[in-house]
Amino acid sequence: MQFSYKAKTVQGETKNGTLEALSRRAALGILQKQGFYVISLREIKNPLQINISLPFFSGVPQKEKIAFVRQFAVMLKSDIPPLQALKALVHQSKNRQMREIIAKMAEGIETGSPLSQVCSMHPKVFNNFFVSIVKSGEAAGKVSSSLSYLADHLEKDYNFNRKVLGALIYPIFVIVVLIGAFFLVTFFIIPKISEILQSFSGKLPFTTTVIIGLSHFVQKGGWAIIVFGFVALLILYFFFRKNPKTKMFYDKILLRVPIFGSFVMKINLVRLAENLSVLISSGLPITQALAITEDIMTNAVYKDIIKKAQEKVSQGEKISSLTQEYPQFISSFVTQMIATGEETGRLEETLKTVVDFYREETERTAANLTTLIEPVLILIMGIGIGFLAVGIFIPLFQIGLQGMGGM
């Protein structure tokens, strides 16, 4: 950032000028170190720069965060002081919000705050898991190693999420095309041929009557009801996700959906095992590691299980004694691996085995999900095309035969 200032020297002389600083506070600190008494200080705005901040588009992309953590770790390993490294990284990020966060982190480090504390001031970017790993690195004197490990973890998580989302792109695309085709036929095709169909001397088939009636309904304002219903469903969905009681009900139903429920369960088991393994490996007590893992999990069912596990462990019991009570959500394989880890004192290692096993399973399921869903989508498309064929093309064919018979 560039600032213009007006200040007085110790001798009472007035000075005007500009300077570069990471923030207003940092600019004041620089001027005070030079022995100036600041009268006014304002940021010089670039007239060509337009900052648009919309809630939907705000936030730091995962790729930006991974790049920052990776570069920061490399610089610390090269014995560059944290403050100097952060100042260098401010201008390397393409995301405006990330640049602001790095600048505030540098400001915090400059005032003497530890890295874990300045990270905790930005919970939307650096969650409790991230802060805990950094804090463990500070305690062991291995911050650069902790950051490298975090970069690897974030990258694996990012690639895993991309594969999962990639499996859902095809079904979503087909559904969007079907909805678009429905409105295209309703607004442009059916109105042009409805008069021809209604002039048919014979009785129109039931499907034809339904299609024409649906077209008239949509054209005369029915589209607004459909859009309103869709928006209402979205609002209801977000309400279900925000309310703790309804969220638990929704997440339980989601885990019991055929094919997809098993897929969701494996995703949650990967996240649970991986986060817990990393936190225990970092030297955190199991109760604290469970508390942080609970905070990270998004599925209410697994959050509740981890919370109960934390209570069990604090009372001197084992995690496996609880997980075996939920065979529908935690497989016997996971329970056995946790029990083995608890008996041998190598829980973090057995959890890594669970992660490797289920990550491969989930990636394989994600790759095959399109193949599993494709027959259902083809069936839906076939029913839609068949309905249109019976309702539109057969009457048109009959009208054509009538015309030929009248010649």
Task: Indicate left, alpha or beta for 343 from its phi (over 0: left) and psi (-120 to 50: alpha).
Answer: alpha
Residue stretches of the chain with pLDDT short of 50: 47-58, 407
pLDDT given for residue 48 in this prediction: 44
pLDDT given for residue 68 in this prediction: 92
C-alpha torsion sign, points 312, 315, 320, 325: negative
| Fold: same for 64-156 and 168-407 | yes
pLDDT given for residue 52 in this prediction: 41
**Residues 72 and 86 sit within 8 Å (Cβ to Cβ):** yes
pLDDT given for residue 50 in this prediction: 41
* CATH architecture entry for 64-156: Up-down Bundle (1.20)
DSSP for 343-356, written as a single string: HHT-HHHHHHHHHH
pLDDT given for residue 73 in this prediction: 92
For the chain, the first-to-last Cα distance in angstroms comes to 84
Q: Domain limits of the chain?
A: 2-43, 64-156, 168-407
3-class secondary-structure state, position 20? strand
**CATH code given to domain 168-407:** 1.20.81.30
Question: 224: which 2 tokens?
Answer: 């607004």
> Which residue is listed with tokens 């006014």?
40
pTM of the model: 0.65
DSSP tag of 257: S
Cα atoms found within 13 Å of the Cα of residue 340, Cβ hemisphere only: 13
DSSP tag of 363: H
